[in-house]
Amino acid sequence: MVQVGRPGLSYTQKNELWRRWKEGQSLTEIGRALKRHGSTIYDVVKANGGVVSEKRSRAARVLSLF
C-alpha cells in the first residue's frame, strides 16, 4: 500500500525539534536542520500547543503480561 500525505518525524527528530524549539530557534531553522519543510515543523508544534509532551507510560497499578 502506498503512503499518502507527509511522513511524520521519527522519535529522535522530535527530540531534536523540541530541543531546538526550547533554545528559541525559528521553525524555518529547525526545518533546515532536520531537512524538513517548515510547515511540517509547524504542524508538530501546533498539535502540541508549543509545549513538549511527556513520554507516555502506564500506571504501576495497571495489569500487564510481564
| Domain boundaries defined on the chain | 11-47
Burial class (CB in 10 A: 0-12, 13-18, 19+), 50: exposed
Look at residue 4 in the predicted model and tell me its pLDDT: 54
Look at residue 6 in the predicted model and tell me its pLDDT: 57
- Position with higher pLDDT, 58 vs 25: 25
Distance (Å, rounded) from C-alpha 46 to C-alpha 43?
Answer: 5
Look at residue 32 in the predicted model and tell me its pLDDT: 94
Which of the four pLDDT bands, split at 50, 70 and 90, describes residue 59? confident
Distance (Å, rounded) from C-alpha 42 to C-alpha 52?
Answer: 13
Q: Is the pLDDT of residue 44 over 70?
A: yes
Q: Is the pLDDT of residue 40 over 90?
A: no
